[in-house]
Amino acid sequence: MPASQTTTRMIPPQNPAGNDHVLRALDLRKTYGTDDTLVRALDGVDVDFRRGSFTAVMGPSGSGKSTLMHCLAGLDAPTSGSIRLGDVELTTLDDRALTGIRRDRFGFVFQSFNLLPMLTAAQNILLPLELAGRSADPDHYRELTAALRISDRLQHRPSELSGGQQQRVAIARAMITRPDIVFADEPTGALDTRTGHQLLAFLRAGARELGQTIVMVTHDPVAAAYADRAVLLSDGRVAGSLQQPTADDVLAAMRDLGA
């Protein structure tokens, strides 16, 4: 990422000592129900994410990976523990402040239904900025839409776009605010294999070329292989972490977890 863009993002300067975590969760717990019916979705998760990293959160279904993402992204409140976004402790924020964080500092890509049907692709992309009452940086907008190859689809409504195009529009919307983190929840879950790979390649390029921090939840080892790091979750706990994983590594690690 060019230096000029780094300054406009107004992010704190990276710590020379290497402590450049954007988001850090400590002893995160989330329980549902009480006593007999108690379910520990998250059971003391410690995890952190470096600036510019592309992390895959892996785990079998029921391992708590979606819950973890919801808590990290301020969509759900953990029962206890701490989530720090830079200097901000998310767990103490009220709904209004969390909304502002989601709008200005987070981006979201969901499995499906990412876009508002009555808005064009362009309007969907600019939605977070409009909600904040800000206007887009035209250069950034052009670069993003060009990189995601949706420049010629911008005036179309979601119903006129293919699934892959819709997901790329969603990525553009997630990145338009230059957020600290983009959360992607099974972003390829509703796509065919080939389109899914294209999308993952876009995400990886976003992380490497734009320095965008990305946290992706997936159960697909092949998808996880696109990330710099895979964090394995099992029964609400972090069960391991793989650097520069391959699909085989992830598959093997998952097998070890008994999934």
Piece of the chain touching other proteins by CB under 8 A; list 29-37, 38-46, 68-76, 215-223: 68-76
Strand order in the sheet with 229-234: 106-109, 181-185, 214-218, 54-58, 229-234, 237-243
Q: By rule CB under 8 A, what string of x and - marks binding of each residue 137-176 to other proteins?
A: ------------------------------------x---
Name the residue nearer to other proteins (CB basis): 104 or 249.
104
70 binds other proteins (CB under 8 A): yes
Nearest to 128, CA basis, from 172, 194, 167, 190: 172
Give min distance, CB of 112 to other proteins, in A. Answer: 10
65 binds other proteins (CB under 8 A): no
Q: Which of 59, 64, 78, 128 binds other proteins (CB under 8 A)?
A: 128
251 binds other proteins (CB under 8 A): no
Residue ranges binding other proteins (CB under 8 A): 70, 75-76, 95-96, 99-100, 102-104, 108, 110, 113-114, 116-119, 123, 127-128, 130-133, 173, 185
